[in-house]
Every structure is written in structure tokens, then in C-alpha cells.
Chains A and B, each alone.
Chain A
Amino acid sequence: MPENDAGGARTIFTDTGIRRALMRIAHEILERNEDPTNLYLVAIPNGGVPLARQLAANLREIASSEPEVGVLDTTLYRDDLATRSERPALRETVMPAEVDDRIVVLVDDVVKTGRTIRAAMDALMDFGRPRAVQLVGLVDRGHRELPIKIDFVGKNLPTSPGEHVRLLGATGGADGPLEIVVLPEGQSLESARQGGSEAKARTMLGGAA
């Protein structure tokens, strides 16, 4: 149910839709991985964080075992640092457990080129040697530039490369309403939508999609 607001942002995934998708993905993760205690959700900030938290809650509900949730900033591993003049702001990395021999499930909100996922995998390897790495992408925009495949996808969303797709909502907890919006080419999140202070703060930190 796409809708347009004053700023031109188009909502393509509502809170209900997102939570429904995350529940389905939780089931799919359990289907694929028999031992839920070995799971380790690693969120790519900022969008991945509320999604990973929600997924962890879902897994506890289904399998009565809540996996650890880590947060892994990929900024220092980006492949475009040498070509950009402006340095992107760094974000938090919190890895509460060892990754050795764990099934690491990377969680990101929007997957497009695959470059962030490449950076995340490199970063992850510096923390240890996981038994396997799987990937949750809430939205798959296509336009892949690296051979990266999403294991658990929320929604496939054909977009034009110039559009921006953003997750709005709580950055930390899993409680706030979430939504995925599409911004027309050349439109910034600030001009499109003032989604409360949290959304604004995230804008200042910049996206890494």
C-alpha cells in the first residue's frame, strides 16, 4: 500500500509488513539451522540493529532460545574510502561473544550493491572464524555489483539505482514503528521526512547502503 507524503517519500513496507516478514524470516532461519543455540545475529548499523533485535525476540518466541546480537560497523572496511573526500562517521561496534565456530547471521535493512556485505564479512573475519555466515536482507533492491546472495529476504524491491531506500524507526529497541521508504532521486531524508529525532540523528550519521 504505497503512499505519498508531503516530502515525496513513498512508504513501501509498513511496520506490520516488516514485523510479519521478520517472523517469517525467523522461521526460515530455524528451518535452515537446526541448533538455534549456535546462532549469532550480527547487525549492520544502523538499519540492521532494530531488525536483528526483533529477529532475536522472534527466535526466542519460536525456539525459546535467544541468540546473541552483535553490532558490527563496516565503515572502516568500506572499499570507497580511498575515493571519497568526506570521511563517513563511524558507528558503534559491539560484539558480545566470540564468533569462532558460530553460525553468524548478518542482518541488514537494505541490500543493493553487496559492497557493505563484503565489508561486513571482512570485518567479521577479523573477529574470528565463524562456521558459516548467512545473510538477512529486509529489502533486496537488486543492482548487485558483487557476487553476494541474500539467504533470507523480506521483500524484493525493484528500484532505479538513483532512488534511496531507507529504514525509518527506532534505532535501538525493537518496539518503535518501522517502515521502509523510497526517496526519489536527489531527495534527502531531511527534506523528505522528519521522522522524529531518531530518524534525524540517523540522517546525520549518513547511510551506507
Chain B
Amino acid sequence: MIGNDLLGIEDLEREDIQRILDTAVHMAEVSEREVKKVPTLRGRTIVNLFFESSTRTRASFEIAGKRLSADVVNFSPATSSLKKAESILDTARTLDAMDPDCVVVRHAVAGVPKRIAEVLDAPVVNAGDGAHEHPTQALLDLFTVQQEKGRLDGLSIAIVGDILHSRVARSNIYGFTKMGAEVRVAAPPPMIPPSIESLGVKASSSLREALDGADVVMALRIQSERLAGSYIPSIREYANTFGIDRAKLAYAKDDAIVMHPGPVNRGVELSHDLTDDRPSVILDQVRNGVAVRMAVLYLLTGRRPRAVAAPDEGGLVT
């Protein structure tokens, strides 16, 4: 079952994922109403604790929280002068003293949301940690594919790009494989993490091989400033070999859809026209992100059973 926190897709069972997706269907309906707001989390406080800036994800969580009537507070230690004055755990303890009902954490280093969750009473949602996980992104991707294809089981998903540095790739690998889809990854060899097969995927340095017969083609963002010259010779060479245009998309199934977690480097990961038009579903991903995050916030903010030490056993009773 869904625990107190959402730290990664790795921790979830298939039933948990399905429950979140089922809930998101109804949250999507709320988002289509004229009054896009329900009183569910009235009087609750959600803190967006973003050590790493991310306008898009933060805005998505903020809108999700507000549509559920929660008070949403944005706290970005990285952008304040606090940066090195306080350890992450001190920041977490400080926040905890303000009694938030849910804390959404993003950090450039893997593992920070987990460490914070160990300190906090409130449920923690991982909004992306280093190259580890970005569970709500994977959930919105699963939701979008489910919406498009009507199923997840038995689909072929090709993830293309910098797998090594990608938390989106890892969360999606866990998510899609748990839901019965087959995942292949393709990247220039320096961008394929060691032993990636241990996560249950097929890795290839051939785009054609990875795309062959795929139902979904997911391109990842290339951090050009960091990678060009060291992991890949140049952006131009990457665009030529791994950039996806309509010609390369032809390797995939005729009805394949194209996804990207955004923001897209146009002409690098995806050709210009593929960024905007079908079969690209990039804007649906963004839209669904709000619904999925509403579902996650709803499901995680139930009243937490208080741990009470049983007088005669000393164990935990909930």
C-alpha cells in the first residue's frame, strides 16, 4: 500500500500505481470544471521545498494543491541567502516545527527527500532528486499513456537520451515495467548507466533498435551546457544520431506517441514539428501532471495514525 511518503516509484506496488491513476482520472475531471476547486484540503498546508529551482514542477504542485483548497507555501532555500547556513536536515526540522501537512521536496542530490522524510512528521513527496527518481513525472507519463492507449500492459516504451543523469528515466523504468510494459532505453554509450539492465530494461546504443515497434517514444532533455564535449562530442552530433524526427519515428509503430518531460530543446531531442503536433502529447503530459499531483496529494494527506507505544509491549501500534 501507499506508505506515508511518495519517494519513488520503486517503492510502489502495481496496485498503488493503479490507485493513483484511478484517482487522477477524477482529479482530471475536477480540472475541467468551471470552478476548478474542491474543498478537500481546506485548512491544510502544503510546502513546496525546492532546493533546486524548477518553475514547471513547482507550479504544477502549487496548482494541484490549490485546486484541492490547500494553502501552498513555496520555500526555496537554494535561492535564499540561507544556502549554506543550514544543513538540509536542519531546514527540514525547522519546517516540521511549522506543522505542514505535506512537504514536496526537490533537490539536485539523490536521496535528500528520503533523508528529509526520516526527519519530518508530515508526508514527503519527492519532486525530483538528482538522478534518482521523479515519481510524479512517471505517474503523469503513465497516466498520459493510459489515456492515449487505453492500457499499459504489453506496450513497448522506448526512452531515448541521457539515461545516466535522468531521474525521469529511472522512475519511468520502474513505473512502466511494474505496469506490465516493456521498456527499452537508447543513448550514446557514455549516457547509459552501468548495469541498467538490472532495472529490467533493454539498453541499446541504436536508436533504430530501441524504437523498432515501440508504442511510445519518450525523449529526455539533454543538459547541453554540462554534457557536450565530455559525454557526447557535440549537440549537433547528438541531434543527428539520437534526435527524433518524423523519419526516425517511422521505426516505431504507426500509432506511436511522442513524449518529453520538458522543456524541449527544439531541434535537438525532437524536431520542431514533432514538438508541437501529434503524435506528440507533450502538453497533455503537462495538463495531466496537475491531475496526478492532485491525486497524490489527496491520497497522502489522510490523517496520519499516531504511533503510540503499547504499554506492555513497547512496540508500535497504529
Contact call A82/B26, Cβ cutoff below 8 A:
no
Contact call A85/B40, Cβ cutoff below 8 A:
no
Chain B contact residues, majority secondary structure: loop
Q: Which residues of A contact B43 (CB under 8 A)?
A: 82
State how many residues of chain A have any CB contact under 8 Å with chain B. Answer: 20
Q: What's the minimum C-beta distance from A71 to chain B, rounded to whole angstroms?
A: 11
Name which residue of chain B comes closest to A83, CB basis.
B303
Contact call A87/B298, Cβ cutoff below 8 A:
yes
- For residue A5, CB closer than 8 A to chain B, the reply is no
Q: Which residues of A contact B302 (CB under 8 A)?
A: 81, 84-87
Name which residue of chain B comes closest to A82, CB basis.
B303
Contact call B38/A77, Cβ cutoff below 8 A:
yes
Identify which of B29-37, B142-150, B186-194, B252-260 touches chain A: B29-37
A93 to B26, CA, bound (A): 7
- For residue A73, CB closer than 8 A to chain B, the reply is yes
Q: Which residues of B contact A30 (CB under 8 A)?
A: none
With A85-B305, A87-B302: A73-B26 Cβ-Cβ less than 8 Å: yes
- For residue B299, CB closer than 8 A to chain A, the reply is yes
Q: What's the minimum C-beta distance from B107 to chain A, rounded to whole angstroms?
A: 27
Q: Which residues of A contact B115 (CB under 8 A)?
A: none
Contact call A90/B33, Cβ cutoff below 8 A:
no
Q: Which residues of A contact B19 (CB under 8 A)?
A: 89
Q: Which residues of A contact B13 (CB under 8 A)?
A: none
CB-defined A-B contacts under 8 Å, sample of 11: A76-B30, A76-B68, A77-B40, A85-B305, A87-B302, A89-B23, A90-B26, A92-B26, A127-B33, A127-B35, A128-B34
Chain A interface (Cβ < 8 Å from any Cβ of B): 73, 76-77, 81-87, 89-93, 122-123, 126-128
Extra contacts besides A81-B302, A92-B26 (20): CB < 8 Å: A76-B38, A76-B298, A77-B38, A77-B39, A81-B40, A82-B44, A82-B303, A83-B303, A84-B302, A87-B299, A89-B22, A90-B22, A90-B25, A93-B26, A122-B39, A126-B33, A126-B35, A127-B33, A127-B34, A127-B35
